[in-house]
Structure formats: structure tokens, C-alpha cells
Amino acid sequence: MSPKYVYFFGNGSADGRTDMKHLLGGKGANLAEMTNLGIPVPPGFTITTEVCDAYYKNNQQYPEKLAGEITNNLSRLEKLMGAKLGDPENPLLVSVRSGAAASMPGMMDTVLNLGLNPDAVKGIIRKTSNERFAWDAYRRFIAMFGDVAMGVERHEFEEILEKCKKKARVKSDTELAAEHLKCVVDEFKAIYKKRTREPFPDDPKAQLDKAIKAVFASWNNPRAIKYRQLYDIKGLLGTAVNVQAMVFGNMGNHSATGVCFTRNPSTGENKFYGEFLINAQGEDVVAGIRTPEPIENLEKEMPAVYKELVQYKNILENHFKDVQDIEFTIQENRLFMLQTRTGKRTARAAVKIAVDMVKEGLIDKKTAISRIDPGQLDQLLHPMFDPRAKRVVVAVGLPASPGAATGRVVFSAEDAEKFVEKKEKVILVRKETSPEDIGGMHVSQGILTTRGGMTSHAAVVARGMGKCCVAGCGLLNIDYKNQNFKVNGRVVKKGDYISIDGSSGEVMLGQVDTIEPRLSGDFATLMEWANEIRNLKIRTNADTPEDAKRARELGAEGIGLCRTEHMFFGENRIDFVRQMILAAPDVKNLKIKISHLENELAKATNDKAAVLRKELAQAKTELKEPLNLYTSALKKLLPIQRCDFEKIFKVMDGLPVTVRLLDPPLHEFLPQEEASQKDIAKKMKIGLKEVLEKVTALHELNPMLGHRGCRLGITYPEIYDMQVQAIIEAACNMKKKGIVVYPEIMLPIISTEKEFSALKDNVLRIANDVMQKKGIQVEYMVGTMIELPRAALIADKIAKHAEFFSFGTNDLTQMTFGFSRDDVSSFVPYYIEKGILEKDPFQVLDLEGAGQLVEIGIKKGRSTRPDLKVGICGEHGGDPQTIAFCHTIGMNYVSCSPFRVPIARLAAAQATLQQPVSRATV
């Protein structure tokens, strides 16, 4: 059976239904549904999305059968309307409009008043006795057709119209008389002919053919393509085309056109909301040519029509059980509904509407949960720029951490702290950030970098702090020496104000007013419903008591990642860390030397033994000074770390806290600026040259693959011993005070079974010693971060010893792709644009590659230890698509930055609704 390409609607019945959006597009399906509901809809027909698909696949040629179907349905429309396309006595005019399955407002094209030519204009004048209306409709048609079907720039028509108004000494289009509009039509035709090199077509059938082709062509116009990219709209066949009998809102003061919402789309208030214009067509409302009136004023102008409109808006909201965005036209006091679709709304409105509709009995809790876009919740959790504020955008980077920030430009963490001490708000501007910038990042309103991607250090830390961040803004040229940056010919100096939008990536000059977020009771209600539904636990990534408290307030059920290295940059501790690091290599090398000499001495003859004893004594003497510096630094750090953990355990009373032992390479803690290097040399009482030599010696060509994580714990065991001691002592101290603690000690960058078992033995030894001395037993777990492909592949062996796995998907993605997450901004956007990658794999987990490794790791791990606790703690833990995957493969929890906790809670509930039982348990 050959496919049907055209579906008719009109006179109270339609061939289609609302559940046929994939075929009829949203507009066509809902026009059919409204017709079937008995709502007054101008009749017409819809050409299916399958035709659009075939049109592009067949070198922009229609299926053979289409022309006949269009002719038959046009005849049916003409018969129903009692008018005919091209008939000079009783002409039928139609609109030709787009409509894809997914709403794409304003992205594709529309032609109104099609069918007009000089004879038809005369026929309309005879029929309506309204000469002005006829010429007004004709000039509108020529401009729209010229723009949409033939590519004549719209501004050329607008300039002609403006000149005519000026000449006639009027301000509004509606003040132009018929004689003026006749001249406008003549000039419109002249510019059309000049630009297209052919006269404006008078044959309505030719007009219709060109208009249909133009609407199909608009599916792939730049703005439509961009919109689909921005909103991740995929898998559609194309746009449908709706050919519909025209009704006119520009026939005089008893006619009007408008757009309305069944509820307020900004606040969610259950109040009729919208605008209308007397004596206008729909394009006038959207284009802002005239200032519309609020919808409530229609009750004064046309009370009977307003009452009817309210009745239909109620019918539509109750039928579709969601807020409707409605277009209507009033032709000489007769109401016609031109379109209804699900209304787009702000996050605040979405939450209120969902909760209100449950209370009203219109929808259930599950529907309310599934209706909210988790990503939209960012709007509720971070400051936003006032939409009314003026913006001077000079560059756009990556929207790395949402929010809005305004402050004075500073180029170093030190300056950030100095400015803030003087009560100044700052934006920290860096080429890239490093862990030593943490203090400046903490006090800044926002962070702006020229390098790095969505999971760069700046992005990850900013999200954890709830700070606004724009990363990878390559247009900025930073000059640290002269303390300025240049962008698009402008110079911005230290102390100048800028504003950054972490939700859009925009960088703006000057101060832009912001609006603080407000969380409503409806938000709490929605989150409670999400908790009732979801299976996944939601933890947070938090390194400070403040972050932990904020996350717990937002619903976190534990800490999935506490990065101990971030604690090292706090006040009065970085010097101890640097002392430890600068002494550590000498301690390690001398210990290796001493061990080697002792082995040699055991085998040596008498003559050689004397020499070896002397060398051994010398080595032990040399060891004393660096060992003293090393151990004294660790002793000073121990109570500081213990205090840090005590504060976090107190905040997270009764909830698990996963503490990752030191992970980054040691050189990241050392000062790179000469002034700071001189300062540390003075404090350690060594020469600047020695400090420089040690900094250089610790530098690695590829530190992400180098001496970091568990490798540090094995080569410098005292560091991990100190951290474990601090964790367990803190846990014992808190337990003694009645705080319920569940520490989970996590070993990073494990790639072999022996690495883990050796380090675990040390953890158990230290923990047992502490608990024995304290006389207190604490339940704790030892697990690992699976972030290397090899670890995932041998997870069954690691799970013999590890009690939990936490997948570090940032590093796992780096290692799987061979991408540096700090450098991907230079090519990944191009890959996405060219279709090589669908999305940035550091934002949305690559399920095909890294995701497969995660699933392998879980299956292998649980084959050895069936009760293995599994979570994810990379930045992907806050991404809704990744959360759905984590639910599907049977993870126990996801962990994300504090401000993404509500997003994760909602996404986890939606994942449960989509798949109640995880794949791992089937």
C-alpha cells in the first residue's frame, strides 16, 4: 500500500490526530486534534514530514503521487470554503506554514495571503467592500513570498514601507490608506523583479508550488540547523507543510490577531496570559512592528469573543493536560484558532505548573516529574542576568559553570584576594587555572579562562564551588606583564568591570544587573516526589564543610568525592605542603641509596666494606635534614587534615563520605612565579637556585600520565599514611561526640591489583593502630577510583580487595580517547560541527567507548564481589543522560557538584520512570 502524503482537516473532522506528530508535525497534528474537538479551525491540509524526507533524499524532487494528492485536497478545501484559488470573483487565499514534530518557534518559514494577484485583489474588494484591506493583504503577501520563496531581503521591503509612511506623514502601518498601499505594492513588485530578474508570479498554483518548496527548504536553513543543535533535536524526518484557508485579523476594528498562553509562562501563575492587536495579522504581533495590548483588554474590546477564547483555552489545556501556546485570529467578530502547542516556559514556571497541575488533579506525580527538563533547574540555582539589562558582548567562550557574575578584572589569585579584602567583587581572568589558584577562585564572583574545556580545572572547581565560569574563550589575548587582555580591538585592564554568563558563555563589558535565585516551596515538593520515585542515590563532590552543607541542603545523600588536594591550598598550610614536596625527592632518593648500600654491604669483602660503611654513614647524615623537613611538614599537616575531616564528618552526620587520597602530581603545588619561589626559599632556609632545581626536577612532560595518585602513595608512603591517620582519627573523634560517621577511603589511579593490595595493607595497618589507641571502632571501607581502561578490564582482580568502585569518568574519558581535557576546546567543537562526535565526551559520557568500559568494570567487579558498591564521581555525574545510563547498568549512586544535586535527583527519578528495573538486575 502506497503511503498517504496529504491529510485533510476541516468542518469538524480530520484525517489526523495529535499522536501523529512524527508524520504531521506538531502544528498539523494539533490542528487535526482541535478540528476533531469541534474548535473553530480554518480548514486545510497537511503535507507530511515523509515528503520532506523524500524531497532531500531525491535531489529536491517530490514523490510522484504528491501532486495529485495536493490537487485533490485543494479541491476539497475549495469546495468546503465555497471559494477557489485564483478565482477573480471569489478567490480563496491560503497560508503555507511549517511544522516539525519538535517545536522550533520562528526557525522555519511561513507565507500568508497566498493566492493574491491583481484580479484576486479586485475580487476581494468587491466581496468585502474593503479596498484598504485587500491592498494591505497583497503588500504583505509580496513581501513574505519574496523573502521566503525567492530570497529577497526583507529589509528592502521594510525600507519602501517606511518611506511611504514618511511621505504620507503617518507613524503606523494601519494609518496608510488604500492609495498609499497601491503604491507600496507597485514598488514591492519592482524590487522583487530587480532582485529575482522575473516578474512577481500571478498564477496562484505557481505561487503555491514555490511556497511549499520554500517551507521544505527552510528545514535546513542556518537558524533551524542551529536550533536543532542547541536543543539536541535529532531523528526527525523533516518539517511538514500546512496549507490552510486564510482568516484575516486586518479587516478593520472588529478584527484582531493574538498569541496567548493558558498560564503565565514566566511565573507559572494560573492566569490567562497573552497579547493581541486590533486590525493586524499574526506577523505584526511577533515582529514587534506595533505594541500589542495585554489579553485582558480584549474583554473590553470584544467581550463575547473573549469569553469564547477563554472557553477554548480551558478546553485545550484540559485536553492536552499541559500549558498551551495558542495563536488566534478574529475576523469581523468571529474567532478562529490557528495553532496550539505545548508552551515553552522558564524553569520557575515549569516547577510551579507541574506541582499545581498535580494538586488540581490534571496530571499525576510521575507525569509532573517527567515533564521538567533537569537541565532547566540550573536557572533556579544560580544568579541570572536581568533580561532587561543592556549587554555589550565582546566574546563567547564555553559555558563551563552556570550563573551570572560581575566584578573587576584581576589576573592572579593573589590580586583576587587583595581586592576582596577591600570589599571589591572580582572576576579572575587566567589563561588557565591550576590548584594554586584555589584561594583566588574561592573569593571571586566568577572565573574566565582562555584555555581549557568543560572539564578543565577551572570548570570542575567552579562547578564544585557554585561559581560562574566561562572557559576556553580563545578570543581573549591575555598580557600578564601589562595586566590587561585584548579582545576584538578593545583593551580591558586590571580593575575594569566585566560580566560573564556561565550559562551562555558570554563575556560582556561593564556591570550587568543580576537577579538572585529564589527556591519556592513547589521546588521542594517536586524534589520530594523525585525522591519517592528514584532508585539511584545522589551524592556530592565536596571538599569543604561549606560545600558539603550546601549540597546536603540541596538533598545530597553523602559525599562521593572529597578531593584532599584542594584542602592543601587553605590558609597556613600550603607552605607545609611545599616543604614536604621539596624535601620528599631527597628523602626518597637517599632512602633508595641507603637501601642499596646496605644490600651491597651485606655482600661486600672486608676491603670494600669499609668504603661502603663510610658512604652509608654519609648518606644517613645527608638524610637527616630533608627527612626532618619532610616529617615535620607531615606532622604539621596531620592536625590540619584531621580538623578538615572532622568538620566535614560533622556536616554529613549519618551519611557516607568518600575521601580520595592525594591524586595530582606534586609539581602542581609548587609556585611557578619567581616571587613565590623566593618566598618559599626564604622560609625553608635554602637558596633560590635549589628551589628552582627542585621545581624543574619535579616537572613532567605529561603529568596526567605521570607520577600521581597511588604512585605517589607507593613512592612516598608517609603522605598517604598521614592522610589515613587524619581520616580515622577524625572519625573516632566525631563518633565520640555522637556523630555517625561512614568514612570511605578511596585510592586513585589504580592500574594493577598489587598497587591496590599494597596500599590497602597500609591503610588497614594505620587505621587499626589509630582505633586501638583511641579505643574506638569505626566502620570504614577501602575502595578505588576506576579511571584507567586497564583498571576496568581487570576489575574482577581489583574487587578481591576493593570494597567499592567509584568511576572517575573525567580521566577515564581522557585515557579512552587519548584527549587532554584541557586542550579539547581547540578541536572538539569542530568535531561536533562536522558530525564526527555527537557531543563533547567530557560533558556527556561516551557510552560507546568509556561507557562500555564502565559497564565491563561493574560486571567484572561484581563477578568477584556481588555486593560491590558502585558509583560515579566524574563531572558526568550531574549530566541527565549519563545518570540514565548509570541507572540502567545498576550503579548505586552518582556524585556531582553541589548545585547539580537537584538536577541529578530529578534525572534519576526520570531514569526510573523510563526503565523501572536496571539492566544489571534483569
Cell match 509612511: residue? 165
CB 298 within 8 A of CB 256: yes
> Distance between CA 335 and CA 652 in Å, rounded?
60
Q: What backbone torsions phi and psi does residue 276 show, to the nearest 5 degrees?
A: -150, 165
* Edge-to-edge strand ranges of the sheet holding 477-479: 477-479, 484-487, 490-493
Is beta strand 656-660 parallel, antiparallel or unpaired with respect to 742-747? parallel
> Distance between CA 808 and CA 788 in Å, rounded?
9
Q: How many CA atoms lie within 13 A of 557 on its CB side?
A: 13
| DSSP SS3 for 331 | strand
Give the H/E segment covering residue 379. helix 378-381
Which residues are CB-neighbours of 10 under 8 A, at least 6 positions away? 35, 41, 42, 43, 44, 76, 77, 80, 245
Amino acid identity of 304? A
CB 714 within 8 A of CB 661: no
CB 563 within 8 A of CB 663: yes
CA-based nearest residue to 528, from 878, 900, 902: 902
* Edge-to-edge strand ranges of the sheet holding 404-410: 393-396, 506-509, 497-501, 404-410, 426-430, 446-449, 468-471, 398-401
From first CA to last CA, the distance across the chain in angstroms is: 40
Q: Tell me the DSSP string of 666-695.
A: GGGGS--SHHHHHHHHHHHT--HHHHHHHH
Would you name the residues annotated as active-site residues? 457, 873
CA-based nearest residue to 239, from 213, 215, 255: 215
Q: Please, what's the b/e burial string for 633-648 (b: 16 or more CB within 10 A of its CB; e: otherwise)? A: bbebbbebbbebbbbb
> Distance between CA 632 and CA 642 in Å, rounded?
16
Name beta bridge partners: 399: 470
Amino acid identity of 134? A
> Distance between CA 207 and CA 145 in Å, rounded?
8
> Distance between CA 459 and CA 452 in Å, rounded?
8
* DSSP-assigned letter for residue 282: H
Name beta bridge partners: 498: 407, 509
Q: How many residues does the chain have?
A: 922
